[in-house]
Amino acid sequence: PQVRYYSLVLSEGYGSPDGFGRQMLVINGSYPGPTLVANQNDRMIITVHNALANEATAIHWHGLYQNTTPFYDGAHGISQCGIPPGQSFTYNFTLAGWMGTTWYHSHYQTQYSDGAVGALVINPSNATTNADGQPAWPVVTAPNPPQWDADFVVLLQDWYHSQSQDVLSLYMGPNGPDGTQGDEPTPESGTINGQGQYLGGGSYGNFSLQANTTYRFRIINSGSLGNVRFSIDGHPLTVISADGVDVVPLEVAGVQVAVAQRYDVLVRTNQTTGGQFWMRGSVLTDMFTYSIPNAAYNHLAVLSYAVPSPSSAPLNSSAPDPGPGVPGLSDLGTKDYTALSPAVAAPVPDSDVQYVVQDDFERTEDGSYFGYMNGTSWAPLEGESTMTLLSSSSFLSALLPGPSYPQGQYILTSPSLQTVDLILYNLDDGDHPFHLHGHRPWLVGTGPGAYEGQALNGTGAMLRDTHVVPNYSWIALRFVTDNPGVWAFHCHIAWHMGAGLLMQLAAQPSVAAGYGLPPQVAEQCAAGQGAQGVNG
Ligand code: C2O
């Protein structure tokens, strides 16, 4: 295990990822930001410098446990107040648990939609101690793990041509043009590793491969709304991992990835023609309530490899996806959980306690539009310390078991080690990819309508950090509160989270209070930065 140092600088820049120029955000001057690669049990020391002129920021390491370091989770308003403009903040944590392919992104308002994203790849290690010389976390891998020769990150993102703050206020505000208020803002375009093609502009990424080789593609949906379908012409995909959880390998034609989810797939470069093939990252329109003229959703990159006599037919960018060329294969859809099962079948504990939470959207009297979790719409707490994980331990210790509503926030508290069933009932007409920080819940039940006491079943349940709740349906998520801290649970659609569709889990808060806070967190809170939430 190693100690790895990184430095990330968030700044504004003018860019045209898909050929359309706009003000956007970049990390170390690029979009997406650099891919961070490490091993389990390493220590990561990442200094983030906020070079924005007027906005605070916070960077979240999606899907990591942050065990004993909940204050480095990077969730603005929950685990830190925000890095003021011109200042830096150093995240410092070990990589525990079973991680795989994930990503990092700004967790300040809707900043990530403007380009503040990057990939994070954590490989297994069989070290017996971690970077601090403490006993290592056990590595959990399949008995006969799949093999591959080389790997690539494929970061897919739907892409907007306006600044995300403007997009969000049209969505939430009472005065939007017809067809915008309360209807999810529709992207104009999309990107594959920061490159897209809008109205004939933009550029194509290139993947130059070797023939007869097995590649692992690490597919990440870092978008704001749309499901994205990934496929490669003429090549089936073998899904081996979902949100970093190894799964029983599944051969499919394409994967449809919901926002914040990841799939790792193996691809064999074994077509006898060789040559060039389209890699496709198509933004699906099933979540869109209106359409944008001239929108361009079929994004392409070129995958090529040579065989002794390669076909010389040029690629035609308007040719339809010919499919993988293997009869009988279909897609893995965003709600196809039954098709996936964990490669390591660990027993799922029975639950100790059950909570039901409803999500919906409502219009206020002045016509503004908000997302609600059991009647509360999230915005950062008001006051001097604008975060839940307060510097005084009294706030955390005072959280009562079960639901509580400090300043209108819905916080579910588990004071001790418990197995919780969280039943999420979606009263909205859209699907929502819900992400629980610091945990990886099992899906132990789902069904249409309201939950009416149906039996839940952990046997063979799929676990991952982002689960989709279908429209007008419920899902039951089971997790153990073994990671003390305050953790966000939210819809990862940027506009829904921006509109307040977020609640918090306080897991063993008095233990978390005992961790104390790094002085830098308290200093940046005292600087009063990041106090304004979008709903505050
Ligand atoms: Cu990807 Cu709350 O995070």
Tell me the pLDDT tens digit for each residue of 148-171. Answer: 999 999 999 999 999 999 999 989
H or E element that contains 511: helix 509-514
CA of 178 to the centre of ligand 1 (A): 30
CA of 92 to the centre of ligand 1 (A): 18
- Rounded-to-integer distance, Cα 75 and Cα 378, Å: 13
What sign has the CA pseudo-torsion 104, 107, 109, 111? negative
- Rounded-to-integer distance, Cα 265 and Cα 283, Å: 19
pLDDT at 536: 33
* Domain at 3-123, CATH from 2.60.40.420, 2.60.120.10, 2.60.40.1120, 3.30.540.10: 2.60.40.420
Does residue 440 line the site of ligand 1, with CB under 6 A? no
CA angle, 384 then 482 then 513, to 5°: 30
The overall average pLDDT reported for the chain is 91
- Rounded-to-integer distance, Cα 525 and Cα 517, Å: 11
Summarize pLDDT for 71-84 with one digit per residue, the tens.
Answer: 999 999 999 999 99
CA of 315 to the centre of ligand 1 (A): 37
Does residue 490 line the site of ligand 1, with CB under 6 A? yes
Closest atom of ligand 1 relative to the 105 alpha carbon: 1
- Tokens describing residue 329: 């294969």
Lowest model confidence (mean pLDDT) among 385-389, 429-433, 499-503: 385-389
Give residue for tokens 């990390």.
Answer: 27
CA of 509 to the centre of ligand 1 (A): 21
Closest atom of ligand 1 relative to the 497 alpha carbon: 2
CA of 530 to the centre of ligand 1 (A): 17
Q: Answer whether 256's CB lies under 8 Å from 229's CB.
A: yes
pTM score: 0.96
- Rounded-to-integer distance, Cα 390 and Cα 80, Å: 9
Matching CATH topology for 150-339 and 353-526? yes
Lowest model confidence (mean pLDDT) among 6-20, 292-306, 418-432, 451-465: 292-306
CA of 240 to the centre of ligand 1 (A): 23
* Domain at 353-526, CATH from 3.40.50.720, 2.40.50.840, 3.30.1230.10, 2.60.40.420: 2.60.40.420
Closest CA to 205 of 189, 193, 215: 193
What ranges do the domains of the chain cover? 3-123, 150-339, 353-526
CATH of domain 150-339: 2.60.40.420
CA of 378 to the centre of ligand 1 (A): 14
Residue 87 in this model has a pLDDT that exceeds 50: yes
H or E element that contains 154: strand 150-159
Does residue 439 line the site of ligand 1, with CB under 6 A? no
- Rounded-to-integer distance, Cα 33 and Cα 116, Å: 7
Does residue 496 line the site of ligand 1, with CB under 6 A? no
CA of 233 to the centre of ligand 1 (A): 31
- Rounded-to-integer distance, Cα 170 and Cα 180, Å: 7
Does residue 62 line the site of ligand 1, with CB under 6 A? yes
Strand, coil or helix: what is 419?
Answer: strand
Summarize pLDDT for 371-411 with one digit per residue, the tens.
Answer: 999 999 998 877 656 778 765 667 787 888 999 888 788 99
pLDDT at 532: 45
Strand order in the sheet with 205-208: 205-208, 298-305, 275-283, 228-232, 255-257
Going by alpha carbons, the residue nearest to atom 3 of ligand 1 is 62
Does residue 437 line the site of ligand 1, with CB under 6 A? yes
Does residue 435 line the site of ligand 1, with CB under 6 A? yes
pLDDT at 139: 72
Residue 199 in this model has a pLDDT that exceeds 70: yes
CA of 102 to the centre of ligand 1 (A): 11
Going by alpha carbons, the residue nearest to atom 1 of ligand 1 is 62
Residue range 185-197: average pLDDT? 96
Prediction ipTM score: 0.99
pLDDT at 30: 98
Closest atom of ligand 1 relative to the 103 alpha carbon: 1
CA of 141 to the centre of ligand 1 (A): 25
CA angle, 94 then 114 then 203, to 5°: 105
DSSP 342: B
Closest atom of ligand 1 relative to the 63 alpha carbon: 1
Closest atom of ligand 1 relative to the 75 alpha carbon: 2
Closest atom of ligand 1 relative to the 488 alpha carbon: 2
pLDDT at 202: 94
pLDDT at 393: 65
CA of 495 to the centre of ligand 1 (A): 13
